[in-house]
Structure 1
Amino acid sequence: MLAEERRRQVLQWLEEEGRVQVTEVARRLAVSPMTVRRDLERLEADGLLVRTHGGALPVGVTTPRELPYASKRARQVEAKRKIGRLAASLVRAGETVILDAGSTTLEIARHLPPRITLKVVTNDLLIARELADREGIDVYLTGGQVRQGVYSLQGPETEAYLRATHVDRAFLGADGVDAVYGLSTTNRQKAPVKQAMLAAAERTYVVADHSKLGRRAFARFAGIGEVGALICDDQARDACASQLAALEEAGLEVLLAT
């Protein structure tokens, strides 16, 4: 890979994940840490990022950031639709389901079968709006602080609501799915919310497109063994074959949506 291609890839990861680490970039690109440091130096000289100890952050950002919902919605659109369709097909009439906040879980809501009877608990305002007029579906919002531009709820009220809830299935989003590091998110305040969702459910699924595999976001919220299955799109077969193998070897069931 040419230097310019490496640097474009680094900037893409930086935009998606809010930070990059030298050792992780070196592993992904199969180059030496020294090569990565030189790339980061060049990008910093061009005013495109700010180097930190062991990595880099976006310009003007001192902590890892979460992408606004509008940006998330435009990424991996078809992959998210496939995942949403497969995930929705697993839900059975009469069940109680948690849908985590996110653009992928919104696709689950959109693909729920017509006339199905459900109780849906969510911390996502857009999911609540999507399902509010669906006959047969009772929608429960967790409460909590609204995150501007993301339309999700978080905070102590959200966590308390979930701790007092028991459901059949929970579908959680993740910004990173790594066989060793586990499941992670770009926003540390989201971690305890996701942990409460995991504790509330009999059966848990992580929904993440192939671009999230092998990535480690800022805040870890669970180990691979703490979830029942990963639902991913079928591009992962070619793009992330080694990661899929590592996840399955770690004991995680992987469902690929076509």
Structure 2
Amino acid sequence: MLAEERRRQVLQWLEAEGRLEVSEVARRLAVSPMTVRRDLERLEADGLLVRTHGGALPVGAVTPRELPYATKRARQVEAKRKIGRAAAALIRPGETVILDAGSTTLEIARHLPPRITLKVVTNDLLIARELADREGVDVYVTGGQVRRGVYSLQGPETEAYLRATHVDRAFVGADGVDVAYGVSTTNRQKVPVKQAMLAAAERSYVVADHSKLGRRAFARFAGIDQIRTLICDDQAQASAAVQLEALAEAGVEVVLAP
């Protein structure tokens, strides 16, 4: 089979199956894994797929880069508000809470009940500013390097602070939630930060709007088996029903915010 025919076949399989592994493609085509990798490199260069560790995904299934905060904030505004309201309603007076950096977790901060007493740990400067003057809310900022345009903190100092912290609840954002791939983010440097947040909490929640379901972002930070609860908006019932069913089968509690 000529190279062009192989690549055409690879694209047909990818469209039908949604994900390909190098070893499986090599077996089907009766060629070496190195040949398959070269074909995938060429197809990626042509903008026809995105390579992953050990395989490939369709272009639309992967979030390749982190968006500036202003862009994120303008997307799925109502869905994030719904999630923020539902997540904030779970928090009890006197608890200690981690709020991950992001526009969805900012909505949690904005929807906290009035006069609630809390300790809030965050690596998000905008969340810290939102809560700084709230009476009854003690705000703790992790420290670390400020990321321009995103207003979050990351790095060894952030990770060390979180590893030395124990909280009742942690709310962690995600750019992709896929049953097979897991929970992922666009920035690999955020992986140890998010993992430390999950480890610090008695109970952890992933917060992600319906557009993130079925997506696989650049860097995976948790398997689905590590996630107890996902808080999403109710539009997921129409746009991602298959993912919701698979998540439930995998033992994940899904809270759909109306």
Shorter-chain TM-score category?
A: 0.7 to 0.9
Query: Any conservation in 2 of the 1:110–1:130 contact (CA below 8 Å)?
Result: yes
* Structure 1 residue matching 2:217: 3-state secondary structure: coil
What is aligned with 1:4? Answer: none
Query: Any conservation in 2 of the 1:85–1:111 contact (CA below 8 Å)?
Result: yes
Query: Any conservation in 2 of the 1:22–1:55 contact (CA below 8 Å)?
Result: no
Question: Is 2:256 the partner of 1:256?
Answer: yes
Matches within 5 A, 1:38-53: none
What is aligned with 2:188? Answer: 188
Distance 1:174 1:23, change over 3 A: farther
Q: CA RMSD in A?
A: 2.8
Provide the rounded CA distance (Å) in 1 between the counterparts of 2:106 and 2:89.
14
| Structure 2: runs of 5 or more not aligned | 1-10, 20-24, 26-38
Q: TM-score normalised to the size of structure 2?
A: 0.79
What is aligned with 1:17? Answer: none
What is aligned with 1:89? Answer: 89
Structure possessing the higher radius of gyration over alpha carbons: 2
What is aligned with 1:127? Answer: 127
Query: Any conservation in 2 of the 1:69–1:149 contact (CA below 8 Å)?
Result: yes
**Per-residue deviation, residues 128-176 of structure 1 (Å, max 9, x unmatched):** 0000000000000000011110000000000000000000000000001
Structure 1's consecutive aligned runs of 4 or more residues displaced over 2 angstroms after TM superposition are 21-29, 49-57
Distance 1:51 1:209, change over 3 A: closer
Post-superposition shift, 1:24? 6.6
Matches within 5 A, 1:1-258: 27=17, 54=56, 64-258=64-258
Distance 1:24 1:171, change over 3 A: farther
Provide the rounded CA distance (Å) in 2 between the counterparts of 1:78 and 1:166.
31
Aligned residue-pair number: 221
Distance 1:129 1:239, change over 3 A: same
* Structure 2 residue matching 1:90: 3-state secondary structure: coil
Query: Any conservation in 2 of the 1:109–1:127 contact (CA below 8 Å)?
Result: yes
Post-superposition shift, 1:227? 2.1
Aligned sequence identity (%): 76
Post-superposition shift, 1:55? 6.4
